[in-house]
């Protein structure tokens, strides 16, 4: 089955979500924590979230490009391990805000910084369930036509406009 430009599967309770479930618009990002373009997109996403407030639901799905970014998978694992303790977004933000220092040795430091139980955090990474979830996100991206990061979908349809132009992104979200 060829990839489509439609989000597959659709957004569900499984997804990491910020904003109300009944928001009029949903923005989904497939991202890689080590990707410099994702790092550049991060402040644009934060800015549109502030601008739209409760009118926007933001979803993040992992799409680590491990062949290009050697720490992408461990960073995604750290975010997913944090999610098990209810701190996905805190870890997501700290990973992007410290992207230039991203390496495995920093992850326990950041885990402590966001208030995680370090033993549970490390055990979750060793157990491997979170790796399955990351692979599910990646399969979702592939079947949705994602071929690089960041890749955005607005209300289930791929956004191919310039994500690094705040006005264009905001206008697309308001449509």
- What is the average pLDDT across 9-23? 96
pLDDT tens digits, one per residue of 124-158: 999 988 999 999 999 999 999 999 999 999 999 99
Domain interval for residue 117: 25-174
pLDDT of res. 20: 97
How does residue 3 score in pLDDT terms, banded at 50, 70 and 90?
low
pTM of the predicted model over 0.75: yes
Structural domains counted in the chain: 1
Is residue 68, in this structure, part of any structural domain at all?
A: yes
Is residue 16, in this structure, part of any structural domain at all?
A: no
Is residue 49, in this structure, part of any structural domain at all?
A: yes
Is residue 30, in this structure, part of any structural domain at all?
A: yes
CA distances from 5 to 49, 63, 122, 146, 147 (A): 23, 16, 36, 8, 11
Is residue 55, in this structure, part of any structural domain at all?
A: yes
* Cα four-point dihedral sign 111, 89, 115, 95: positive
Is residue 129, in this structure, part of any structural domain at all?
A: yes
- What is the average pLDDT across 13-40? 97
pLDDT of res. 88: 98
Nearest to 124 by CA among 135, 115, 137, 133: 133
Is residue 9, in this structure, part of any structural domain at all?
A: no
Those residues whose C-beta lies under 8 Å from the C-beta of residue 117, and which sit 6 or more positions away, are 85
Average pLDDT, the chain: 95
Domain with residue 70: its CATH number is 3.40.30.10
| pLDDT surpassing 80 at residue 2 | no
pLDDT tens digits, one per residue of 38-89: 999 999 999 999 999 999 999 999 999 999 999 999 999 999 999 999 999 9
Is residue 4, in this structure, part of any structural domain at all?
A: no
| pLDDT surpassing 90 at residue 175 | no
| pLDDT surpassing 60 at residue 1 | no
């Amino acid at each position: 089955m060829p990839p489509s430009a439609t989000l597959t599967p659709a957004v569900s309770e499984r997804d990491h979500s910020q904003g109300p479930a009944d928001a009029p618009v949903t923005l989904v990002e497939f991202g890689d924590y080590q990707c410099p373009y994702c790092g550049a997109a991060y402040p644009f996403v934060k800015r549109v979230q502030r601008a739209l407030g409760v009118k926007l639901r933001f979803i993040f799905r992992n799409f680590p490009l491990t062949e290009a970014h050697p720490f992408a998978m461990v960073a995604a694992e750290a975010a997913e391990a944090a999610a098990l303790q209810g701190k996905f977004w805190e870890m997501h933000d700290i990973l992007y805000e410290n992207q230039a220092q991203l390496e495995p040795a920093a992850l326990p430091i950041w885990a402590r910084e966001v208030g995680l139980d370090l033993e549970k955090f490390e055990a979750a990474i060793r157990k491997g369930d979170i790796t399955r979830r990351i692979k599910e996100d990646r399969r979702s991206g592939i079947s949705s036509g994602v071929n690089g990061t960041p890749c955005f979908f607005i209300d289930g349809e791929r956004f191919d406009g310039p994500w690094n132009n705040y006005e264009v992104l905001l206008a697309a979200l308001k449509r």
